[in-house]
Amino acid sequence: MASNLPIPIPPRTPTPPPDDPPSISDQSSGLHDKDSLSPLRDTFPASRGTLDPGDANHLSPTRGGFNLSPADALQGDQSDNATGPFNFKTMTMAKGPVVKSNIGQRRGHKYKHSSISHQIFLEPPPRAPLALPNSLPIPTFKEYRSSMSRDQTTRFWWSVCHMCIAGYTLWSAHGSLAMTALSHLILFDSLGALLCVAVDILGNFEVWKRSSVRHPFGLERAEVLAGFAMCVLLLFMGMDLISHNLQHFLESSGHEPHHTHVHERVSLGRVDFTALLAISSTLISAIGLKNHGRIGKAMRFGYIESLPSVLSNPSHFLTLSCSALLLLLPLVSIKLYNWLDVLLSVTISISMCVIGVRLVKTLGSMLLMSYSGPGVSEVIHDIEADPCVYGVDDARFWQVHYGLCMANLKLRVSGTEENLVRLRERIASLIKNRLGGGYGSGGQKWEVSLQFTAEKA
């Protein structure tokens, strides 16, 4: 009896709702078939069919594994399985250049064009072009020679003649140490005359005085360098004369020399002619060419500064005085002549060394951009005595070349704007008058720059 009872149906397991809402067609199909979700009903579509184990080509890569309609399957069989997954076809590549596409790519860009940098980094304001050129053309030797005027050509040949006079003086100086020393002085004067002519010719070109980025003060500092070389030569010539005098002294005291030197008394006419020739050539170069003029202004000797313009220059004063003393040698006796000759030679050589050392020191400081002239401490003391000045923080004085000096001062001041303007004018006038020699004196040109720091009263 129990076997005739019906088997109970198991409870239906609830199915979770799908993620996507059902479409209208699915809802309509579910309404027509109420047993579509029954666990006792096979819901798999029968259209897929089953795999036939006897079919050897069901896993073939040339056969489509998709559900195709009979028409598609027939067309596929006729086209040699053209719809298979491994359908390779021959393709022809283009002969033209391949155009690179930037679609979908993010390329880097300059940081200054980013949106954030526009708020932080600002473009610098455009600057005006510099008033100074980067460089100026330096003349060649052909341009240098073609720019010479008639007056400059005459002065050049005179400086060559002055050097020939120095050579003649040295050739005729046998038997006189004083004439040998005089020949060295004339050689120094002739080199100064040649330098003056060279500087005058270089003044025809713009590069000599005009400033540029490469040469801020022009080429005028080259004259200082050439003068420095001449002063070193003068110093060595003076030392050579001293050694020659010591050798002569040792020979006269009984020591045997390694090389014999014959010292005979020079003829009277040769001494007079050489002395007069030296005086005339020195005066012509001093007045006409103004050789050693700039060197004389840079090197100040208080003992001869009050003399006339020609004699106030130490080089001219030494040459002219030595030549004048040579005129007295023929008038003395032979014994006195030997003593005067040696004494005059030693005096000239020592004077050459003193002048050379003084010039080397002065021009060396000028090459190092410093001012070695007197009067700086007095100027600073007068500036500090002004009632508007609280103190001088820094004071620098420079000499660029023979004709240009610079003064840079940093002051702590107080007062109205009008008083500060007057203070600037007063300090500039004080420096130019004290250090530059005043207006019209032909001294150095001074450029003064001042920086004021206002102090609370």
pTM as predicted:
0.65
Strand partners, 405: 399, 446
Token duo for residue 71: 């028409």
Contacts of 291 (CB under 8 A, 6+ apart): 189, 192, 193, 195, 196, 285
**pLDDT recorded at residue 262:** 47
Backbone dihedral region for residue 218 (phi beyond 0: left; psi -120 to 50: alpha; all else: beta)? left
Helices (H), 285-416: 293-298, 314-326, 334-367, 376-384
For 14-40, b where at least 16 C-beta lie within 10 A, e where not — what string? Answer: eeeeeeeeeeeeeeeeeeeeeeeeeee
Give the CA angle between residues 331, 337, 343 to the nearest 5°: 125
Helices (H), 172-220: 177-202, 206-209
**pLDDT recorded at residue 327:** 84
pLDDT in tens, the chain (457 residues): 555 667 777 666 666 666 655 555 554 544 555 555 555 555 555 444 444 544 555 555 555 444 445 444 444 444 444 455 555 567 666 565 555 555 555 555 555 555 554 556 667 787 777 677 788 888 898 998 999 999 999 999 999 999 999 999 888 877 788 888 999 999 999 998 899 899 999 988 988 888 888 888 888 889 899 989 999 999 999 999 998 888 877 877 665 554 544 445 556 677 888 888 999 998 888 888 888 777 766 666 656 666 667 777 888 888 888 888 888 877 777 778 788 888 888 999 999 999 889 889 888 988 998 887 778 889 999 998 888 888 889 899 988 888 888 999 999 988 888 888 999 999 999 998 888 765 545 567 888 999 988 877 6
Q: Residue 251: which of 239, 260, 242 has the closest Cα? A: 260
- DSSP structure class, residue 38: -
Strand partners, 406: 398, 447
What gap in Å lies between CA 444 and CA 437, rounded to an integer? 8
What gap in Å lies between CA 429 and CA 244, rounded to an integer? 51
C-alpha of 160 from chain center: 37
- Exposed / middle / buried, residue 125 (Cβ in 10 Å: 0-12, 13-18, 19+): exposed
**pLDDT recorded at residue 326:** 86
Q: How far apart are the first and last CA of the chain?
A: 131
Question: Could you give all domains of the chain from N- to C-terminal order, each with its CATH number?
Answer: 141-254+265-367 (1.20.1510), 376-454 (3.30.70.1350)
Sheet holding 404-413, edge to edge: 389-401, 404-413, 445-454
Task: Please check whether residue 158 is in contact with residue 206, taking contact to mean a CB–CB distance below 8 angstroms.
Answer: no
Contacts of 43 (CB under 8 A, 6+ apart): 36, 37
What gap in Å lies between CA 446 and CA 431, rounded to an integer? 8
Contacts of 281 (CB under 8 A, 6+ apart): 161, 162, 165, 186, 189, 190
**pLDDT recorded at residue 131:** 73
